[in-house]
Amino acid sequence: MSGKPVLHYFNARGRMECIRWLLAAAGVEFDEKFIQSPEDLEKLKKDGNLMFDQVPMVEIDGMKLAQTRAILNYIATKYDLYGKDMKERALIDMYTEGILDLTEMIMQLVICPPDQKEAKTALAKDRTKNRYLPAFEKVLKSHGQDYLVGNRLTRVDIHLLELLLYVEEFDASLLTSFPLLKAFKSRISSLPNVKKFLQPGSQRKLPVDAKQIEEARKIFKF
């Protein structure tokens, strides 16, 4: 039996993509079992594989882990991407929560009701430009180092790169005023494992399209 982690999710970004990113950045190969129908999801539930009857779920080291943050915490700890002490970990957690907040805001736009799309898009752009990106630009400016915490690669650098790429897809002009973040994006993208994950043909998922959204609605009933 393969010793690789096995990721159970729909064949799209969603809440699994940050897990794919972190594993790839750590140089960990993984397999994926895609949920392609309501029956696939129901079987995982009936077999007792989903603690809270929901995905993402990752099989790793003999465990079946649910909940995105719990999975990320385990991977980061296992592969030494979680800082050297409690203070660094606190900063990593704080920065990560902000990154995940904005990531969620941007991701939700693709399933937003049409009558709310304009207002929510405007809010996401405002939060990106005036709240979240300035905060991370300030962190980089404050210590002048290549990484966000401890001057070495941690999980939060990978989360931030993922977010910056989403922002670039969303509206590239939002990055214009943040030279340190643009340099950070280029720097982290050049790391060997990250560079490999960014290449065509990797397990990185493309932006979701209308067909995928419709398929996901049928499976997950949202």
d(CA 189, CA 197) in angstroms, rounded, equals 9
Answer yes or no: is 206 within a domain. Answer: no
Per the annotation, binding residues are 9, 45, 54-55, 67-68
Answer yes or no: is 107 within a domain. Answer: yes
Q: How many domains are contained in the chain?
A: 2
d(CA 124, CA 101) in angstroms, rounded, equals 11
Residues 152 and 169 in one domain: yes
The tens-digit pLDDT sequence of the chain (222 residues) is 459 999 999 999 999 999 999 999 999 999 999 999 999 999 999 999 999 999 999 999 999 999 999 999 999 999 999 999 999 999 999 999 999 999 999 999 988 899 999 999 999 999 999 999 999 999 999 999 999 999 999 999 999 999 999 999 999 999 999 999 999 999 999 999 999 999 999 999 999 888 888 898 889 887
Name the residue among 177, 169, 79, 76 with its Cα closest to residue 129: 177
Residues 35 and 129 in one domain: no
Residues 142 and 96 in one domain: yes
Range of the domain at 11: 6-79
pTM above 0.75, yes or no: yes
- Residue after which a domain boundary falls, among 79, 102, 127: 79
Residues 91 and 185 in one domain: yes
Residue 20's domain is classified under what CATH number? 3.40.30.10
Per the annotation, binding residues for glutathione are 9, 45, 54-55, 67-68
